[in-house]
Structures are given as structure tokens and as C-alpha cells.
Structure 1
Amino acid sequence: MGALLVVALFALALVSLLVGTGSSSATGAWHYLTGDPAARADPQLRLAVMDVRLPRTLAAALVGVCLGAAGCLLQAATRNPLAETGLLGVNSGAAFAVVLGLTFFRVHSSSAMLLCALLGAVAASSVVLLLAASGRAAGSPLRLVLAGSALGATFHGLTAYVLLGTQSTFDIYRYWTIGSLAGVKTADLLPLAPLAALALLTALGCARPLSALALGDDSARSLGHHPARVRLVVAVVVSVLSGCAVAVAGPIAFLGLLAPYAARTLSGARMTAQLVLSALIAADIMIVADVLARVVIRPWETPVSVLLALVGGPLLIWIARSPRLSTAGASA
């Protein structure tokens, strides 16, 4: 199944390079990709394929992999099949940082907004980790979720307060917060790719401890694992992955929830397989959503988050009613 998803990923990436909202045709883009001299000499084709579609395709794959893996880790660590990355306050922290940057530091470039979003996401999750690590129930799933929900609500209120007094900031923030890959540049992705790769490698290393946690904390301790420590490491990895995704595309809902559910359906309780399949499924879905966003109301563009929400809402209701909801366990 993993091989099929990889093949689908490359096929969808090719479709993404061929399809766009502009006047450049799929045939012309194909000729450009296959090295046709006349097509390579066309500056409009080069702009469409290399400067617009290629960065969006890479960004969609990166965002999908990050959100899919983060959702899978978070659901396993909290033993909650409906958990998603917003539980750690990542989205709210990123949004608050973007608003602060726009209002007080006159941030307007895409790279500067990306940096603000990443720093805000990591800062918010760091505060959640500190709150969850204190007290008698340190590192427990419930404490982690409650800390993330409380901090997320706080950041949301602060963001609304700042936006009330700055109309210009609200206009820019409104475009960022809808979640879109429009305007992404390859240079924006280069600093994030190594960070995401390191987080993904760490996530794979957490597969066996998370499999033990699925048996219960006492069973995990008897196998030599430390549940609180494992959850803190997972929370850090989830924060980095989610921060990278939010920084690139803004808040994207449902993807980190739906992809792990589909992965569990395909792989069963094997945690490593769940993690890999979840990342691949989310990347495929993200590229499909981005391609559809370009063509649904052509020549205009639909925010990719809107398409995901339209599909994710009904699917979430179906998942909540499904008897499979309780099958969130994992084994190595």
C-alpha cells in the first residue's frame, strides 16, 4: 500500500505541474517538462511551471507530510482518535505571532510572515509543554490536551483584541488565515525542509514507545519506557511539524485528523506503518485539494482549506459515528 501511495504522490505531483489557473496549457507545460526547446524558451511557461506550480507542489507535499505525521503522533500519544494538531495551540500561537508581526513590526514579506508563524507555533507549544510537565499528573494525555486548549483560547482572544484596532492588519491576516498555498516560493521552503526531515526521523524513532503506550502506561513502564518522557518528545515533534505546516500554508483543518484515521484503516495497529501511511495519504490529499483549488472556479482560486473543510466536515461526522473510532491502538 505504501508503494501505491508513493506512486500516486508522484503522479499527482505531475498533474499539479501541468494544471494551473493561468493561460498556460497542460500541453505546453508537458512540453516544457519533457525538454522541448521551444517550450523551454517561453518565459511564460517557465514562470508558470517553475516559479508558480513547482513551489506549490513541493509546499503541498511538505504540508501534507507534516500534518499527517503530526496527527498520527498526537492521536497515538493521547490515545484519542479525534485529536488533531490544533490541540497544542499551534494554530492559535502562529496566528497571534503573525498578527503581532504585522501590527508592531511592520512585517509584510512572505518569508517574514513565515518566520513569525513558525516562531509563534513553536513558542505556543513550548508553553503547553511546560504547563503539561508541571504538577502531579505531569505528561498525562488529559493534561496536555487541557493545556493546549486553554492556551489556544487565550491566543485566540488576544489575536481578536489586536485585530479590532488595526484594520490594515486584519485585511492581511484574513488572507493568511484562510489557508492557501498561493504565493509560496521555493526559497520559503528551503529552511523548513531540514527541520521537518529531522522531526520526521525523530517521529519514526517514537513508533515503538508509542506502541507500548497503547497498552497503557503501566504496561509501557514494565517494558522499560517512560510515558511522560515519550509524550513530551512527541509533543515537541508535533509542534515542529505543525509549525512548519502552518508557517507555509496557514491553518489547515481536518487533514491531521482524517489522514491518520485512513492510515489506521489500511495498516491496522502497526504504529510505524500508521505513521508512514498517514504522511503519504495526507500529502496526496493536500496535492489533490490544491489542484482542485485552482480549477473549481477558474480563473479565480478557492482556498485549499475551504475544500478540505467541505470534505472533512461530513467525514468527521461519519468517523464519529463509526465503530472503528475506538480502534486507536498501536503495536510495533
Structure 2
Amino acid sequence: MTSVGIDRAPDAALVRRPARVRFLWLLVTAGVLAALMVASVALGSRDVTWSDVWAALGGADDTLEQAAVAKRMPRTLLAVVIGAALGLAGCVMQGVTRNPLADPGILGVNMGASLAVVTAVAFFGLTSPTGYIWVAMAGAAVSAVFVYAVGSLGRGGATPLKLALAGTATSVAFASLVSAVALPRNDIAGSFKLWQIGGVGGASYERIGQVLPFLAVGLAVCLLSARGLNSLALGDELAAGLGERVAVIRAMAALGAVVLCGASTAVAGPIGFVGLVVPHACRLLVGVDHRWLLPFSALTGAALLTAADVAGRVVTRPADVEVGIVTALIGAPFFIHIVRRQKVRDL
């Protein structure tokens, strides 16, 4: 793929960060994530004590409080792995397209995965959880190619604004198709209604075990693409002049992002805006070197989604607000801010 949109990061993000500063921020983020995981286990619609937490960690579920903690533990782990996957995928997409607006939700990738899963369940009787993941990844890949092809039409090629508009239009169209497929089917409409919003409430260790190998493969492919993404940031011509195989780098990095998006959507639904917000915030802290930016985006994405899940449980308790709604409330204003900062004519 070829792209012409360049992410004009703030001056603070262009300054080279010393390794010790980057490592310090990495430790701080890891500490924040650990604290959020503890909060996710301890906080919710039912108050629990530390003795209940320790008892549940030891396998006890004798009381309602201990049972609540035991239910929150896989939910917390799923929020961590899905958040890390989406944060990393968003960072890779922004690097591959050199587009500051790139995000699995905005570019229509998540909704393409959703449409593929709903169609496979409704018309082909798909029931295998692993099958969901394969189908979701295929749908994510087809949607990504379609959006890029549409965004490349006309003068100027695939500019960031055209990609964002094509992705948004595709997401809306696919969301309508998902509703059109699912609503007439009473046997699947109820389960897909909540899944379509995006959330981690139905987490289980079995589901995590099913999706983890796919996420591990996507994670490895993306991290191995870090050096190549640094070259792409210089421009295709300069990267090629340095001996890099631009098409191969772009294809491999995009493949890793598609695997992460498809697997995440299959398990948690189409959660948006994590991949948009996280990379921009991380560049302010560790700079633009993808060898640091990618792992930092994974940690920050995990922290953001865990925090959003905790907020959704605490703010309206005893009811739960799905994490997809919370991330949309955070991400939509940020998206508007990015567009205003970049200025439409520069996009």
C-alpha cells in the first residue's frame, strides 16, 4: 500500500527522548496498569473486602463477594489483552498509513469483522469460537482493503481525510447491514445486541485461552515490524533508498494489525477509539521511535480499556455501562480535536 498522509506530531513528540526517560515512563505505565487491574477486581456493583479478594485468588467462591471477585478476574484479564491489542493495532495502522486519524474503528476494520461474524452465524450456522476468530480476521482484512481502495480514488491518492471519510462511511454501512442480518433472527438478535456495542462483561478463562494464541501472533508480527515502520515514517522513496522493501514491510505490519483487530472483535465486539487515542498520547511521552512506541502503546491501551471498564461499572452501579460506550465518550472528542488541530486542508 502507498500513502501520502503524514502525522504531524507536536514538537514535543519530535524531540528524541533519552532511553532512561522512556524506560521510566514504561515502568510508570506498567505500575498504573497493575493498580487498575487491582481496582478492576475490587470495584464493582458489589463491595468486597481485601479478604474476599485474597480468598477468591486462592480459588474460593463461598460467598457472594468472593464469587463476584472470581467473576471479575477473567473480565480484568480480557480487558487487559483486548486493550493491548487495540492500542498496538492502532499504532501500527497509523504507522503503515502515515495517517493521524487511523484507528480500527474509524477505518471500518472492526465493523467489517463484526459483519463477517454475524453473517457467518446467521447464514452458515457458525458456532465454533475459534471459527468466529478466523471469520472476524477475514472480515477485517477485506474491510481494510476495501476502505483503502475507496480512499485512494481521485486526486491525491489515499489522504488521511479521504481514508477517514471512507472508513466512517463503511463503518456506518456495515453497522446497518449487521442490524439487517441480526434483527430478523430472534435466535441471535439478543446475544449480538450487546456484543455489537463492544464489551468484556462475558469474559471467561476459556474465551481468553481461545483468543490468546491469535493475539500473540499478531503482537509478534507487529513488534517485529517496528524497525520497518521507522523507515516508512521517512517516506516510501527514502525508505526504498535505504534498502527497505516498502511493500513487504507495509503488508506484514498491516497483517499483524488485522489479526489483532479481528481476534479482538470476535471476542469483545467492535470497541472503538482505543487505537486512536493511545498512540497520540504515547508519542508525547516516548517519542516516535516505534521500537519504544509499540510496546508502550500496548501497555497504555491495556490501561485505558481496564480503566474504562472500571468506570463503566462504578459510575452507574449497580448497572454496567459497556466499555465500548465509555471509550466512545472518550474518543469522539479526541477525534474532533485531532481533526481541528491538523486542519482539514492539511489532511
TM-score where L is the length of structure 1: 0.82
Q: 1:5 to 1:125 in 2, by over 3 A?
A: same
Q: 1:216 to 1:292 in 2, by over 3 A?
A: same
The residue that corresponds to 2:140 in the other structure is 125
What is the rounded CA distance, in whole Å, between the counterparts of 1:320 and 1:40 in structure 2?
Answer: 50
The residue that corresponds to 1:93 in the other structure is 112
Map residues 221-240 of structure 1 onto 2, 5 A cutoff.
221-240=240-259
Shift in Å, 1:89: 4.0
Please say if 1:310 is aligned against 2:333: no
Q: Residue deviations 1:245-270, cap 9 Å, x none?
A: 21221111111100000011111121
Q: Residue deviations 1:4-41, cap 9 Å, x none?
A: 1111111111111111223x513443342676xxx947
Mapped contact 1:254–1:308 kept (Cα < 8 A): yes
Aligned partner of 2:276 among 249, 257, 282: 257
What is the rounded CA distance, in whole Å, between the counterparts of 2:224 and 2:324 in structure 1?
Answer: 30
One-letter amino acid of the structure 2 residue matched with residue 248 of structure 1:
V
Shift in Å, 1:198: 2.2
Q: Residue deviations 1:177-219, cap 9 Å, x none?
A: 1111112111101122122122212211111111111111111
Please say if 1:8 is aligned against 2:32: yes
Map residues 155-194 of structure 1 onto 2, 5 A cutoff.
155-156=174-175, 158-163=177-182, 165-194=184-213
The residue that corresponds to 2:313 in the other structure is 294
State the SS of the aligned residue for 1:17: helix
State the SS of the aligned residue for 1:82: coil
Question: How many residues in Structure 1 have an aligned counterpart in Structure 2?
Answer: 313
What is the rounded CA distance, in whole Å, between the counterparts of 1:294 and 1:141 in structure 2?
Answer: 40
Mapped contact 1:97–1:116 kept (Cα < 8 A): no
Please say if 1:202 is aligned against 2:226: no
What is the rounded CA distance, in whole Å, between the counterparts of 2:267 and 2:57 in structure 1?
Answer: 29
What is the rounded CA distance, in whole Å, between the counterparts of 1:8 and 1:306 in structure 2?
Answer: 22
Shift in Å, 1:93: 2.6
The residue that corresponds to 1:47 in the other structure is 67
What is the rounded CA distance, in whole Å, between the counterparts of 1:55 and 1:41 in structure 2?
Answer: 14
What is the rounded CA distance, in whole Å, between the counterparts of 1:101 and 1:129 in structure 2?
Answer: 19
Mapped contact 2:42–2:69 kept (Cα < 8 A): yes
One-letter amino acid of the structure 2 residue matched with residue 172 of structure 1:
S
Gap runs ≥5 in structure 2: 1-24
Aligned partner of 1:76 among 80, 95, 108: 95
What is the rounded CA distance, in whole Å, between the counterparts of 1:225 and 1:273 in structure 2?
Answer: 20
Please say if 1:26 is aligned against 2:49: yes
The residue that corresponds to 2:296 in the other structure is 277
What is the rounded CA distance, in whole Å, between the counterparts of 2:66 and 2:224 in structure 1?
Answer: 41
What is the rounded CA distance, in whole Å, between the counterparts of 1:119 and 1:217 in structure 2?
Answer: 32
Please say if 1:244 is aligned against 2:252: no
Shift in Å, 1:102: 4.1
What is the rounded CA distance, in whole Å, between the counterparts of 1:88 and 1:29 in structure 2?
Answer: 43
What is the rounded CA distance, in whole Å, between the counterparts of 1:95 and 1:84 in structure 2?
Answer: 16
State the SS of the aligned residue for 2:271: coil
Shift in Å, 1:107: 6.0
What is the rounded CA distance, in whole Å, between the counterparts of 1:190 and 1:119 in structure 2?
Answer: 15
Shift in Å, 1:67: 0.4
Q: 1:208 to 1:117 in 2, by over 3 A?
A: same
Shift in Å, 1:154: 6.2
* Percent sequence identity over aligned pairs: 35
Mapped contact 1:98–1:173 kept (Cα < 8 A): no
Please say if 1:58 is aligned against 2:77: yes
One-letter amino acid of the structure 1 residue matched with residue 44 of structure 2:
G
What is the rounded CA distance, in whole Å, between the counterparts of 2:90 and 2:145 in structure 1?
Answer: 21
What is the rounded CA distance, in whole Å, between the counterparts of 2:252 and 2:233 in structure 1?
Answer: 16
What is the rounded CA distance, in whole Å, between the counterparts of 2:159 and 2:134 in structure 1?
Answer: 25
One-letter amino acid of the structure 1 residue matched with residue 28 of structure 2:
L
Q: Residue deviations 1:159-188, cap 9 Å, x none?
A: 343245335533332211111111211110
The residue that corresponds to 2:238 in the other structure is 219
Shift in Å, 1:124: 2.0
Mapped contact 2:114–2:178 kept (Cα < 8 A): yes
Gap runs ≥5 in structure 1: 326-332
Please say if 1:268 is aligned against 2:287: yes
The residue that corresponds to 1:330 in the other structure is none
Shift in Å, 1:115: 3.9
State the SS of the aligned residue for 1:86: coil
Q: 1:197 to 1:304 in 2, by over 3 A?
A: same
One-letter amino acid of the structure 2 residue matched with residue 4 of structure 1:
V
